[in-house]
Structure 1
């Protein structure tokens, strides 16, 4: 008897169908009970439970599923650490691959329909940026099997950090509109405020017991600024991700201050000092410099007239010089975090106080490695997967040079073109809409960190913003086309009116 015939007979018999359902239900309950009794399986149980919900949402409400992932990602590190007392710690935690696997699920569906089913990308919905992103995905997929990175598991691990962010761009084009983007940016601001409060709690009142356990297990040396003071990581997987998330929240709040409603301006005035303070106490200089530059650019662009822009540029320059002067004169005796920040900003070329030159050297080294190995060393070699799964880890801590190492010259060039094209479009769109201004601010403030492994939530927001930037580009194109068509119709009508009537 065929399996399909047997299933139909069971479905047709009401008593038999009920009996089979009870057996399956009991079996699932037994397996669930066994899993709950084993503390080491709790993470797997959470993974399966949340995955089932996400898969169900992906069928009917993909936008809600993606939004759920955006809420989950900032708190993923906290969930993982909170489970240490009950289920221990594992570097290969299924909770880490939960969000990437859901994004890859939807992304693979797009690949299936676009390429395997030969649906293609309609010409009227294509852009230069989208073409570059598709080429980047193609090269990344090839680099998964690059033997120079060692195990293919390293390449598959690299998918989480390089392919998944690109799919965020693709999926944003498909599922998010202006209302969704407003909700997402509002959520980023809200999470930024909550995380800043928790981060300050960590700095001034110390870490929770499970957080201290995690610090010991992970041997997180970069966290400590002195023997008694350390940076915060709030709810996030690491301090760097937390800092970048604060930067994005600051940019959004600043744009609300510039272009928001009265209530939005009031909210921005209230939360900006908290966000600035949280970012400053992270004692990392690059985000501070890039954020100051980004906010200055946004403020200048927000001015309506050319003369006003020049005045605003002068005003912002004076404000930055004044802020720098005040910061360098702060009392550093009371806090090692403040001392580390101030000394680094005041002495950027002094290797005793600043790592700026080291980062420049790492960037140059990454570019040189890419040129010396034009075919690339493999997708995962510059990610956490390269550090954990092979001995070939070679991160340069800057996304462009990382791409040169992982994807070779061709991949590095395409990624550079993506950066340039995204910035070009963002500058054009910033004048027309608040969303465009936010996107430009986020891209400038996070430059060099768009695709840094481990910054899960930050990379998602950055590439989501790039995806919506592409949506805005298509919208402007349609508007220009409509205007051109209307002008052509008006011209034809005018010509018809001007013709002499027949006698």
Structure 2
């Protein structure tokens, strides 16, 4: 009772201070998630997937009452909960010495564990300026890998289907709200946040800006739309009749919202991913060739139609169309700038093989030690942060995940969705600041590993059955 009285008094005093409201919300939500993690870890993980897309809106909505701080405890809420469960796994696996059975291990999972080890070592790299920078990098590089590990442990097919359906629902809601921001403007606290953050990448012209919907930034919102489009497209290809009808209704909305974001790379990657999953979904080789020809024709016609759109009425449309029509023209496109950043980042892995530290390519590097130099592509970021060994391991993870995804896509809908997600987000699997989309990508990779283990067990069971049949009968 003394403890409850002290806690009640402390909460009462804290509530009277508006600057502490964010901390109160952090403590309250954390207690709920910690309680769930003890007995219902799946529901805690699902709750985090619901929280992350709306975290940016929630933080901005608190500006009128509690102001704004770039060091917001609400940002570390989800990473803290993932690290809690991930640390529990590390404790049982490496301290309590409960090794991973060979039957439950894969090449991808081994690579992820090596990546985790390199990330932990890079926390202490002095070249990043401060160990706080390294600890900040944990949020952006270690937490996504733990999403993969925890998915292997806690999620099955039913749960992942439910999660993908939830992602599509959130994608539709966020698309509506994002289009509202474009055509009807921002709410007062959103405008205040834009002024405080100095979000230059948001503005396309003096009068028009990209949307960010409920998310922390416009890039995360765009990638979330991309993931929703891929899931909806595969549902159109493989779903039941009612699912196909729903997909037909929401696909135009999602695609239009993505197009109005005036970002060219997501358009290219989404088109590529849709084409690939459509071809792979065909059952016969002849049908795949036909699908490839049809998709090539559709993409050419779509590209031709886009380049003829009237751009006089909107700066967003003009920016998008000019960039798609002139991808290598520096006046209309930043493609060459991004390519140069990618190549520069890859070269830094060779010139500084030990890396610059885990947080050097993240927001933590920019805020805590002014050493942030992101290349905006995850592979080259790994070469900068973790050096040559980390870059090689991460490149092998990408290769192995895509190889497994292509194999599983030929046999099931879930594998097809995961393949589409990985292709559509290629280069952005571990980009700091895209909290919700990184979680979905690595959850997909984790379930891809589950599908591989399931297939391995089925093959082993078939082999044992065949061997049992072939075994000669011995009379006793």
Give the structure-2-normalised TM-score. Answer: 0.99
The DSSP-based 3-state class of the residue aligned with 1:379 is coil
Map 1:99-118 → 2, pairs under 5 A? 99-118=78-97
Encode CA deviations 1:234-286: one digit per residue, 9 max, x unaligned: 00000000000000000000010000010100000000000000000000000
- Pair 1:39 & 2:18 matched: yes
The DSSP-based 3-state class of the residue aligned with 1:77 is helix
Partner of 1:415 in structure 2? Answer: 394
Partner of 2:295 in structure 1? Answer: 316
Distance 1:453 1:28 in 2: 35
- Pair 1:474 & 2:448 matched: no
Select 2:188's aligned residue among 191, 209, 215: 209
Partner of 1:244 in structure 2? Answer: 223
- Pair 1:199 & 2:178 matched: yes
Distance 1:276 1:243 in 2: 10
Distance 1:376 1:97 in 2: 25
Select 1:326's aligned residue among 299, 302, 305: 305
Partner of 1:425 in structure 2? Answer: 404
Partner of 2:321 in structure 1? Answer: 342
Map 1:126-275 → 2, pairs under 5 A? 126-275=105-254
The Cα of 1:391 is off from its aligned counterpart by: 1.8
Map 1:82-93 → 2, pairs under 5 A? 82-93=61-72
Distance 1:445 1:137 in 2: 25
RMSD: 0.9
Select 1:300's aligned residue among 242, 263, 279: 279
The Cα of 1:26 is off from its aligned counterpart by: 2.4
Partner of 2:380 in structure 1? Answer: 401
Select 1:76's aligned residue among 35, 39, 55: 55
Encode CA deviations 1:371-410: one digit per residue, 9 max, x unaligned: 1000000000000001101121110000000000000000
The DSSP-based 3-state class of the residue aligned with 1:287 is helix
Which structure has the larger Rg over C-alpha atoms?
1
Distance 2:152 2:457 in 1: 15
The Cα of 1:129 is off from its aligned counterpart by: 0.1
The DSSP-based 3-state class of the residue aligned with 2:76 is helix
For structure 2, the 5+ residue unaligned runs are none
Partner of 1:11 in structure 2? Answer: none
The Cα of 1:27 is off from its aligned counterpart by: 2.0
For structure 1, the 5+ residue unaligned runs are 1-20
Distance 2:382 2:11 in 1: 43
Encode CA deviations 1:322-370: one digit per residue, 9 max, x unaligned: 0000000000000000000000000001000000000000000001111
The Cα of 1:24 is off from its aligned counterpart by: 2.7
The DSSP-based 3-state class of the residue aligned with 2:191 is helix
Distance 1:103 1:277 in 2: 34
The Cα of 1:29 is off from its aligned counterpart by: 1.6
The DSSP-based 3-state class of the residue aligned with 1:236 is coil
- Pair 1:353 & 2:336 matched: no
Aligned length: 476
Encode CA deviations 1:56-81: one digit per residue, 9 max, x unaligned: 00000000000000000000000000
Partner of 2:432 in structure 1? Answer: 453
Partner of 2:257 in structure 1? Answer: 278
- Pair 1:380 & 2:352 matched: no
Question: Which range moves more in the overlay, 410-419 or 23-32?
Answer: 23-32
The Cα of 1:25 is off from its aligned counterpart by: 2.4
Distance 2:370 2:259 in 1: 35
The Cα of 1:28 is off from its aligned counterpart by: 1.7
Distance 2:84 2:4 in 1: 27
The DSSP-based 3-state class of the residue aligned with 1:452 is coil
Partner of 1:125 in structure 2? Answer: 104
